[in-house]
Structure 1
Amino acid sequence: MLSYRRELDGLRALAVIAVMTYHANLEVFNLQIFQGGFFGVDVFFVLSGYLITAIIRRDMEKGSFSFLSFYWRRAKRIIPVYFFVLMISLLGAYLFFDIVSWKEFSKSLKSALLFYSNNYFLIQDGYFANNERETLLHTWSLSVEWQFYLIFPLFIFLLSKIAHRYTFSIILASSLLSFVFSYTEIFVFSNYDFAFYSLSTRWWELSTGALITYINRESILEKINNNVLEVIMMTSVFILMFMMFFVDSKAPHPSFHALLVIIATSSYILFANKGELITDVFSLKPIVFLGTISYGMYLWHQPIYVFFRTLKYDQIRNEQFLLLLIITIGLSYFTFKIIETPFRRSLGNKSILASILLLFSLTYIGSNVGKLSPIPSEDISFGGSIAKHENGGNCHGQIENGIYCHFNKKAEYKIITLGDSHLGALLGSLNAYIDNNKKTSWIDLTAGGSYPFHVFWPEDHNDYKRYGIITDNIIEALNEIDLKNTTILYGQYMIGQLDHLNTTDMTKSQKKDKVVSDLQNLQKRVDRLILVYQTPLFPVKSKEMAQKTVNREFNYIQKKILYSELENKMDINKFITSKKESYEVLDRVKGDNVIRIYPENALCDDNYCYAKRKRDGIDVYDDSHASIHGAKKIFRLIEPYLP
């Protein structure tokens, strides 16, 4: 049932190269290479399910299966090099990250150490939004596998005792249920992140690998003509390559596309046979070598990419990718020889356990260390994370769940915040204002990326349904809330909303009319409508610019000087040109109770707009979102008009 197969290491090599290339975001002629490289993880899941089930069944048939022995072998295989890479990543993050990124890294590190990072990243911004900046994002799949390892042996063991005849059927049923659950979460409830990260929605991929072990592979190979086997193998690899090259992250995952990958991987495992072209190619020494160290390559590549982007360039060029690939292979081979092999084969159990505990302790303690940074936290932080709902989450975005923050509920006057993350950036300043003005209540209905009264995003966008839910909840809330004595504070990245392409129900001109009509109707229902116009859009992101600048020095005083003298500005004429269309839309909203707030009055002079001025903090930390520091300046323009 279980013997070493070189071609499976070859398949691992394909999977890890696909994942690495995808995370590098490489492009040739403006086309992303391996834009479906994330399917490499699906391949790993099938292989993992296949191999651990084969091990469990082999030991059970011999009568030598032990839970303790199984978990210990898995721990020796996975944990030592994993904890070592986490510890090195900790050192890199401490040296090169700003204070905000360090705090976020520390949280993700703790979750990775305890193998629940899939659940941690589930509540972040999503895999496809985060893959360039999250050092440990890739550990989500290891958490899923480890959770599977904890549950599946017990599952198999119980089945062997109470339903031995139906073991295959019950595993198949669990796989089908998981597949249906995954589809339901995606296409019925639009829980894309849950479907992506959860063991329950990935169970079917891992258990498909388990099912393969119940099929008599040798018998099948004897009965099928070699030419047919060649066709099956070539088709399987073609499907894998096609999915990895041409299916991008816009498609919900895991769904039908993942099913094709799982079927192709399963066929490869079942029908690979020495003497076939595909099998022999994937058994070549260089490919097998990469497969042998693929675990290390998977662990190392993401931290290497993130640190490179932090220190040097946001985008990895093709020649730089080759350099990073060589570094990754070198480190992977080093840890394979120095850590993986000795821990699996020669070190005693006491030494292994002591080493694991030492690595865990050092890394966990390190994750709790405070960081001294020349860049103040408020210069690079999003104000929308300050105001908190009673459930502990940020107020910004709660409306997606059908709830919202409401402070000082019994106050006579009311402020309602309405808009996307660009207004959300001001919520920290508004939160401080409300704390000092108990006569005013505040309701927050903001949510990132959304327009309050319509979904302008194209219907094939992953978040189309989510934005529909947000819009419905906002409209329902506004209909339920008594708008007497109410000031509405509205702000939007209008350029982005107007430029969403492929919207089937209206043209760009109709979108503009829709916005004007919606805001005009809102103006008639409230005492005051405050329109916060577009924050300047900068070509260079200040947060990343600042971090790269201070990382040139190791001396803290020199870092402080470099940061103080840093400047990020844009010609005022470029801003005037870029703002024209969005300003024209808001200018059409009329009424004596309409107040217009122009962020450029706080951020620009006669010649330039500044994301950061010399000897001052950062006002716009990315391309267009005000930092907490900058939000205070913009809020001073708003405060005189608040109740």
Structure 2
Amino acid sequence: MLSYRKELDGLRALAVIAVIVYHANLQFFGVQIFKGGFFGVDVFFVLSGYLITGIIRSQMENGLFSFKDFYWRRAKRIIPILITVLFVTSSLAYLILLPDDLIVYAKSLQSALLFGSNHFFYGEDSYTASASIYRPLLHTWSLSVEWQFYIIFPFLIWIINKQAPRHLFPILLGLALLSLLATNAIVKVDPDMAFYLLPTRAWELIIGGLVTFYDRSGLQKYRQSNLESFAYKLIPIIGVFLVLYSMVSFDHSVSHPSFLTLLPVLGTCLFIMFSHEHEFTNKILTLKPIVWLGAISYSLYLWHNPIFVFFRFIKSDEFTLGQFLFLVAISMALSVLSYYFIENIYRRKKISPGLKFAFLFPLISCVIFSVSTPLRDGYPERLGVVAKAFDQLKRNRYYREDGVKMCANQDFENTCKLMGEGDRNLLLLGDSHAIILSEHLYLLTKKKGWTYTNFSLASCSGIDGYYMTEISKTAEHCNRNIPKIAEYIENSGNTKFDIIYSIRVDFRFKGNDHPDAQESVINKLNYWASKGHNIILVYSIPKHRPKVPNYIKQKLGATVFQMNSDFKELKVRTPYKRYLDTTKEGFSVFDSIHGDNVYRVYPSKVFCDEKWCYGKSSSEIYYYDDDHLSIHGARLLVDEIAKNLQ
């Protein structure tokens, strides 16, 4: 059995500090502190692999290992505090989150309860995407990875010990190398898969396990004055340096996890292997306050992210230093309480029946809440008189009528299409700003009896010649669809389309790394117009800061129950001149498309007057974030588009 090592709790303290500061996006004089703080999770993985492997190997070698005992001990360590955090977080989510956000939260809660949140968030936004700072349970992805590892790894070691006990180390090393090689390949084509899923994270946990094969007894026997002594004192310092260097020097733009991740992983291994009481890093990381912080690090890791996220919903996306310290103090207070009154109690060898059943109520409550919230559309009735304004801001999908399900972000072969007998053939093309129009265009064409095809795809131009250059699932999806869309339109024979084209033109053409983007869009749309297709250009909508629904909620109260009739008088607006200034480059692209069959739709006619552009009316919210229309705003813009389809 591995003996307790205070310095490892010290290393946990360093890791959790890095993660917390990273999640706060804390900056001094414009410089982000711990911009690579996400490497703290890699440190946790290595430590977990080391401790779990040590326990399993020791018990198996002494004939004491029991799968039942192993999983029971892991469950006692992980689940009670997790359920506590999920219950409290869900209660706050019900009080604070708007219906659409609450639905997303409930789905993430369901995945966290099943230890599958890494798969859930893999299907959502990237970990580094701007939307991720509004996900209270995003940090549970790493806990899911560890739990999935715990399920598989004991059986793996048990089988190897039965079949080839002398080859345990080379087999584990081979598996770690295979996982690392696969990770380095996958991160180039699907970074989110590499980041979130167990097969591409397993190598970090296994490498931690390999450290248990190193015999540390020699560390206590070396002579104090020779070269060996110097090496044993230097190596742990190098290890901690590699960890710190990774955390302060790299940011989320690097490929991660990859070969680069070996820096903090190997640094952690060096520290685990060679740290001892006679060297510098051990003396620092075994200081009582640091060890204590490491001891509560699991609770602190679980509590800090929901607290940060709810602050962003209530107050502001950015933290001042004072706000950061205040939020950390709250996190610390909750962590201390949960460590002493939950973690320590459930670590006992024997637990009373009462304690075993104590978490049935919060567990069942979380399960019911996670299932019922999407069914109840996020409980919009919580908002009282303004419920209708916030209702389904971001629906943007068809229901199953006419055999149509989702009508955006589809592979070309699964494109949503509504067949009609009318004389018009509508085709929607563009990025997320086209997607927001999809539902009302569907309803319009269904009413008119027209044919409607939806090729809209998030972040995608939809134009042959203007491909996405970044590495992501979305880019791969987009670039695969683009040439097929062009072929579909250009080989349509006598069929003429009304091509409704909508992208965030000022964003797509400002600082774009595709040098031919503007020319590609202009040439292609002019070409289609020359072939007789109607081109309906939807110019950029005004952008607001911050996100409109969040701004409204912040102004009307910290909880949804404080929102009242003040909504009617609240102004959400941005200067019309600013709108014109920020969109002029993109507008010039659309202005370069000509022809008698080119029609222009200006959102400013709907949402602006001569002085201001508005984010809401007295009864409706026009946006679901800062620059995407809500289902209510999209209806108004589609009404404007319909004027060009008479």
Query: Normalising TM by the smaller chain, what interval?
Result: over 0.9
CA distance in structure 1 between the aligned counterparts of 2:521 and 2:615, rounded to whole angstroms: 28
CA distance in structure 1 between the aligned counterparts of 2:254 and 2:421, rounded to whole angstroms: 46
**Corresponding residue number in structure 2 for 1:596:** 600
What residue identity is the alignment partner of 1:125? D
CA distance in structure 1 between the aligned counterparts of 2:77 and 2:402, rounded to whole angstroms: 43
CA positional deviation for 1:471: 3.1
**Corresponding residue number in structure 1 for 2:361:** 358
CA distance in structure 2 between the aligned counterparts of 1:480 and 1:37, rounded to whole angstroms: 47
**Corresponding residue number in structure 1 for 2:505:** 494
| Structure 2 segments unaligned to the other structure (5+ residues) | none
What is the CA deviation profile of residues 255-307 of structure 1, one whole-angstrom value per residue up to 9, with x for unaligned ones? 12212211111111111111100111011111111100000000000010011
Q: Secondary structure in 2 aligned to 1:132?
A: helix
CA positional deviation for 1:380: 6.4
User: Is the Cα–Cα contact under 8 Å of residues 34 and 245 in structure 1 kept in the other structure?
Assistant: yes
What is the CA deviation profile of residues 315-347 of structure 1, one whole-angstrom value per residue up to 9, with x for unaligned ones? 111221111111111110110011110111176
**Corresponding residue number in structure 2 for 1:382:** 394
Q: Secondary structure in 1 aligned to 2:536?
A: strand
CA distance in structure 1 between the aligned counterparts of 2:598 and 2:7, rounded to whole angstroms: 69
**Corresponding residue number in structure 2 for 1:119:** 119
CA positional deviation for 1:445: 3.6
CA positional deviation for 1:392: 9.3
1:476 to 469, 484, 504: 484
- Identity over aligned pairs, percent: 37
CA positional deviation for 1:452: 2.8
CA distance in structure 2 between the aligned counterparts of 1:235 and 1:453, rounded to whole angstroms: 51
What residue identity is the alignment partner of 1:211? L
Within-5 A mapping of 1:237-252: 237-252=240-255
Within-5 A mapping of 1:57-206: 57-129=57-129, 130-187=131-188, 190-206=189-205
CA positional deviation for 1:494: 1.2
Moved more, 370-379 or 269-278: 370-379
Moved more, 433-442 or 239-248: 433-442
**Corresponding residue number in structure 1 for 2:527:** 521
**Corresponding residue number in structure 2 for 1:316:** 319
CA distance in structure 2 between the aligned counterparts of 1:412 and 1:148, rounded to whole angstroms: 58
CA distance in structure 1 between the aligned counterparts of 2:219 and 2:558, rounded to whole angstroms: 61
| Structure 1 segments unaligned to the other structure (5+ residues) | none
Q: Secondary structure in 1 aligned to 2:133?
A: coil
What is the CA deviation profile of residues 467-486 of structure 1, one whole-angstrom value per residue up to 9, with x for unaligned ones? 36513421223213543221
Q: 1:182 to 1:282 in 2, by over 3 A?
A: same
**Corresponding residue number in structure 2 for 1:22:** 22
What residue identity is the alignment partner of 2:485? A
Q: Secondary structure in 1 aligned to 2:613?
A: strand
What is the CA deviation profile of residues 531-553 of structure 1, one whole-angstrom value per residue up to 9, with x for unaligned ones? 00010122332111122133346
CA positional deviation for 1:454: 4.2
Moved more, 413-422 or 15-24: 413-422
Pairwise CA RMSD: 2.5
Q: 1:358 to 1:163 in 2, by over 3 A?
A: farther
Within-5 A mapping of 1:117-516: 117-129=117-129, 130-187=131-188, 190-219=189-218, 222=221, 225-345=228-348, 348-367=351-370, 368-369=372-373, 370=376, 371=379, 372-373=382-383, 374-376=386-388, 381-386=393-398, 394-399=406-411, 403-408=414-419, 413-448=424-459, 450=461, 452-455=463-466, 461-463=470-472, 466-467=474-475, 470-481=478-489, 482-483=491-492, 484-500=495-511, 503=513, 506=515, 511-516=517-522
What is the CA deviation profile of residues 579-624 of structure 1, one whole-angstrom value per residue up to 9, with x for unaligned ones? 32222221111011101000111111232210113x2211123221
1:546 to 542, 546, 552: 552
CA distance in structure 1 between the aligned counterparts of 2:536 and 2:97, rounded to whole angstroms: 37
User: Is the Cα–Cα contact under 8 Å of residues 37 and 244 in structure 1 kept in the other structure?
Assistant: yes
What residue identity is the alignment partner of 1:295? Y
CA distance in structure 1 between the aligned counterparts of 2:440 and 2:242, rounded to whole angstroms: 52
What residue identity is the alignment partner of 1:419? G
| 1:563 counterpart = 2:563 | no
CA positional deviation for 1:466: 4.8
CA positional deviation for 1:513: 3.3
User: Is the Cα–Cα contact under 8 Å of residues 43 and 262 in structure 1 kept in the other structure?
Assistant: yes
What residue identity is the alignment partner of 1:420? D
What is the CA deviation profile of residues 189-235 of structure 1, one whole-angstrom value per residue up to 9, with x for unaligned ones? x1111111111111111111111112222246656722112322222
CA positional deviation for 1:439: 3.5
Q: 1:347 to 1:333 in 2, by over 3 A?
A: farther
CA distance in structure 1 between the aligned counterparts of 2:124 and 2:100, rounded to whole angstroms: 15
CA positional deviation for 1:162: 1.1
What residue identity is the alignment partner of 2:437? L
Q: 1:207 to 1:390 in 2, by over 3 A?
A: farther
CA distance in structure 1 between the aligned counterparts of 2:18 and 2:11, rounded to whole angstroms: 11
CA positional deviation for 1:638: 0.8
Q: 1:553 to 1:144 in 2, by over 3 A?
A: closer
User: Is the Cα–Cα contact under 8 Å of residues 180 and 259 in structure 2 kept in the other structure?
Assistant: no
What residue identity is the alignment partner of 2:609? D
CA distance in structure 2 between the aligned counterparts of 1:377 and 1:109, rounded to whole angstroms: 26
**Corresponding residue number in structure 2 for 1:587:** 591
Q: Secondary structure in 2 aligned to 1:106?
A: helix
CA distance in structure 2 between the aligned counterparts of 1:301 and 1:83, rounded to whole angstroms: 15
User: Is the Cα–Cα contact under 8 Å of residues 95 and 559 in structure 2 kept in the other structure?
Assistant: no
Q: 1:470 to 1:63 in 2, by over 3 A?
A: same
What residue identity is the alignment partner of 2:133? E
Q: 1:2 to 1:447 in 2, by over 3 A?
A: same
CA distance in structure 2 between the aligned counterparts of 1:165 and 1:410, rounded to whole angstroms: 73
CA distance in structure 1 between the aligned counterparts of 2:427 and 2:635, rounded to whole angstroms: 18
Moved more, 276-285 or 534-543: 534-543
Q: Secondary structure in 1 aligned to 2:426?
A: strand
What residue identity is the alignment partner of 1:281? I
CA distance in structure 1 between the aligned counterparts of 2:104 and 2:54, rounded to whole angstroms: 39
Q: 1:158 to 1:348 in 2, by over 3 A?
A: same
What is the CA deviation profile of residues 448-475 of structure 1, one whole-angstrom value per residue up to 9, with x for unaligned ones? 2546334576x6x554x85365134212
What residue identity is the alignment partner of 1:41? V
User: Is the Cα–Cα contact under 8 Å of residues 423 and 491 in structure 1 kept in the other structure?
Assistant: yes
User: Is the Cα–Cα contact under 8 Å of residues 506 and 584 in structure 2 kept in the other structure?
Assistant: no
Q: 1:177 to 1:533 in 2, by over 3 A?
A: same
Q: 1:567 to 1:390 in 2, by over 3 A?
A: same
Moved more, 534-543 or 333-342: 534-543
User: Is the Cα–Cα contact under 8 Å of residues 379 and 621 in structure 1 kept in the other structure?
Assistant: no
User: Is the Cα–Cα contact under 8 Å of residues 486 and 528 in structure 1 kept in the other structure?
Assistant: yes
Q: Secondary structure in 1 aligned to 2:213?
A: coil
User: Is the Cα–Cα contact under 8 Å of residues 45 and 205 in structure 1 kept in the other structure?
Assistant: yes
CA distance in structure 1 between the aligned counterparts of 2:37 and 2:185, rounded to whole angstroms: 24
CA distance in structure 1 between the aligned counterparts of 2:594 and 2:213, rounded to whole angstroms: 72
Q: 1:76 to 1:561 in 2, by over 3 A?
A: same
User: Is the Cα–Cα contact under 8 Å of residues 417 and 488 in structure 1 kept in the other structure?
Assistant: yes
User: Is the Cα–Cα contact under 8 Å of residues 529 and 594 in structure 1 kept in the other structure?
Assistant: yes
User: Is the Cα–Cα contact under 8 Å of residues 379 and 629 in structure 1 kept in the other structure?
Assistant: no
What residue identity is the alignment partner of 1:359? P
Q: Secondary structure in 1 aligned to 2:563?
A: helix
User: Is the Cα–Cα contact under 8 Å of residues 611 and 619 in structure 1 kept in the other structure?
Assistant: yes
CA distance in structure 1 between the aligned counterparts of 2:576 and 2:443, rounded to whole angstroms: 31
CA positional deviation for 1:407: 2.8
Q: Secondary structure in 1 aligned to 2:134?
A: coil
What residue identity is the alignment partner of 1:257? L
What is the CA deviation profile of residues 142-165 of structure 1, one whole-angstrom value per residue up to 9, with x for unaligned ones? 111111111111111111111111
User: Is the Cα–Cα contact under 8 Å of residues 393 and 623 in structure 2 kept in the other structure?
Assistant: no
Q: Secondary structure in 1 aligned to 2:332?
A: helix
1:619 to 618, 622, 639: 622
What residue identity is the alignment partner of 1:193? D
Moved more, 468-477 or 137-146: 468-477
